[in-house]
Chain A
């Protein structure tokens, strides 16, 4: 779809940097991306304890501009971008008429009549086409500007300390989910306090030609503070520990935002119609078909994407993402399970229901009665339901 020439993946503006760093490269959504530079576990731990530097230039940037931009997005997305003040960012989704998720997005309101929609690389073409279609009749221009942007993320508790001296933006005043125009190492950027790791951090949108300069400046400034380059492998385990959904795993066209426990992004009370409203209004009222839960593996074998979840030996759900957790030292996973299983499993495991919560020490009671398991390559391995997220950073979120 987005890769007409599948044999030749696209390279980001930072490709030469990755090669020089000796990265293991992998093809992801039509792009050649760094999977890891050295040990993905060390990269993960560096982001949790110090900071990591990520190339996210594969992400799609779609600009929506014009007097009708806000109204077009209110109709096209499940959220209400018209209610955002310029400078604010919001996590939202774009759904099909049947309520299925086409992509999850971050929308930045850059100005009254200008929005930047950041889409997953694999879905950029779909989102661009849907926005064009849905903007008809509105005075708004939709342009896929993915090739016009590099995107670098610096994430971790040391991120602000490293970035601060290099930018003219006063980071103390940059709230979570806001964006500011400024410079980093003398190059113009859109600087946002957003991320996908569960840590404090920033995402820097720049001209492609400036990306290498910015990357090197951050790298040099951050090395003493423990900053390391981090690849997609670490990004995936970081987001999993943080309980954040990944499109294609926890989200997809056969699921609604309510299935994923993210119904709060659907603004059913916004004025006017929007694509998917009727289906989503019904989904909001209906008893859940399935519930997204966190699982903690009871052995060292790892539940992974697609593995069946068992209750009393019978199929009761499917693992959507799983990995050995570098922070917790045990296998963790997210899975869709039948609502009764989510309820019974949560009661047995922790006494807490599904959904976001601060994780604490999980009693193994759920596995003690042996009812919940994951079929790991033909063998049932015990698991317990545990509240999401698996990891919650202890420091206060920056104001």
Chain B
């Protein structure tokens, strides 16, 4: 399981890459391994307002369905156009080609976890 050093995380197993006021969001390697093969991801369309900690989409895998929670407050400005045709990207490249949405943040992010904190959390879960 990989937990890149340059990202922030949530307790709901999302990763966040912050570039100025834009947050790119996906699910972690730990999450994709736990879910199994992802077959469908629903995320909000660009223009949708999202609230930190609130569900904003879902991930369907062979065995289960899970909510996606927005890690930040803001507005969705882009959804990964490849995911609809190839949801398996979430499994094969969760931190790269498997990214899900980009959100223009309304304010500074709060309550995100460091890689160390997230790693500790997954060890408890595992």
Contacts and interface: CB of A to CB of B under 8 A. Distances in A.
Interface of A: 24, 35-36, 39-41, 233, 236-237, 300-302, 304, 323-324, 326, 377
B3 interface: no
Nearest to A39: B37
A302 B66 CA distance: 12
A324 B62 contact: yes
Contacts of A326: 62
Interface string B16-59: 00000000000000000100110110100000000000000010
Contact of A301 (B33, B36, B40, B62): B40
A347 B17 CA distance: 52
Nearest to A234: B62
B65 A323 contact: no
What is the predominant secondary structure among interface residues of chain A facing chain B? mixed
Contact of A40 (B37, B60, B65): B37
Contacts of A41: 37, 62
A323 B62 contact: yes
A301 B37 contact: no
**Most chain-B CB neighbours within 10 Å: which of A39, A323, A324?**
A324
Contacts of A39: 36-37, 91
B65 A377 contact: yes
A233 B36 CA distance: 9
Contacts, number: 40
A300 B65 contact: no
A154 B63 CA distance: 23
B37 A302 contact: no
A304 B39 CA distance: 14
Given A301-B42, A304-B64, 14 more contacts: A36-B36, A40-B62, A40-B63, A41-B62, A233-B63, A300-B39, A300-B40, A300-B60, A301-B40, A302-B40, A302-B60, A302-B65, A323-B63, A324-B39
Give 9 nearest A-B pairs by CB, closest first: A300-B40, A324-B39, A41-B37, A302-B60, A40-B62, A39-B37, A40-B36, A40-B37, A233-B63
A233 B60 CA distance: 14
A236 B60 CA distance: 16
B100 to A, nearest CB: 15
B91 A301 contact: no
Contacts of A237: 62
Contacts of A40: 36-37, 62-63
B65 A233 contact: no
16 contacts: A39-B36, A40-B37, A40-B63, A41-B37, A233-B36, A233-B62, A236-B63, A237-B62, A300-B40, A301-B60, A301-B65, A324-B40, A324-B60, A324-B62, A377-B58, A377-B65
Contacts of A35: 36
Contacts of B64: 304
Contacts of A301: 40, 42, 58, 60, 65
Interface string B62-95: 1111000000000000000000000000010000
B76 to A, nearest CB: 20
A323 to B, nearest CB: 6
B10 to A, nearest CB: 21
**Most chain-B CB neighbours within 10 Å: which of A35, A36, A236?**
A36
A300 B85 CA distance: 12
Contacts of B33: 24
A41 B38 CA distance: 10
Contacts of A236: 63
Nearest to B55: A377
Contacts of A304: 64-65
Contacts of B58: 301, 377
B24 to A, nearest CB: 24
Nearest to B62: A40
A40 B39 CA distance: 12
A323 B65 CA distance: 10
Contacts of A302: 39-40, 60, 65
Contacts of B42: 301
B69 to A, nearest CB: 15
**Most chain-A CB neighbours within 10 Å: which of B39, B42, B65?**
B39
Nearest to A26: B63
A75 B114 CA distance: 64
Contacts of B62: 40-41, 233, 237, 323-324, 326
Contacts of A233: 36, 62-63
Nearest to B37: A41
B42 to A, nearest CB: 8
